[in-house]
Amino acid sequence: MKKIINYLNRSEEVVASMLLILASLLVFVQAVFRYQFNYSLAWAEEIAQMMIAWFIFIGSSIAVRENAHINMDALVTLISGKAKHILSIIVDLINITFCLIIVIAGIGMISSAIAMGARATSIRIPLYIPYASVPVGVFLMLIRYVYNVVIKIKDLMTGNIAENEVEE
């Protein structure tokens, strides 16, 4: 399982980095063409938006891994040790529920786009491609949350919890 998670870590980092670099280059080239040559690349903005959407959702999975999502810690700071660990598991289970709902809704969104034959305006790419960023990225988040819960329950069962270990 550790090998799969390590592969997922590296894959997400590479894909997210490439998407951000390519989208940035595309926006830069578009700006140069627009302001230096008075010519607009109609397709550049649309592709950059699609790349950024994919970057955001893949980046969200990385943020779960790094525990970098915004959270409210008013209650968490008042408790410690085992109670803090249990609260962390409960929060992850709630996040898993939300991820499942979003993945299901995202699949529905893709199905609708396929059924309607929806395409992007200027480049005519099927819209299910950018729409897929939602369920794919959130599914990656779901994997992270499930992994976190498994590790936290394992730590709870083995008593492998430091007094101030859990940071939510």
pLDDT greater than 70 at residue 163: no
Residue-averaged pLDDT of the chain: 91
pLDDT digits (tens, 9 = 90+) for 79-111: 888 888 899 999 999 999 999 999 999 999 999
Q: Where are the domains of the chain?
A: 2-158
DSSP string, 24-66: HHHHHHHHHHHHHSS---HHHHHHHHHHHHHHHHHHHHHHHHT
| Structure confidence at residue 140 (pLDDT) | 97
Q: Using CA atoms, how far apart are residues 140 and 103, in angstroms rounded to an integer?
A: 10
pLDDT band (50, 70, 90) for residue 162: low
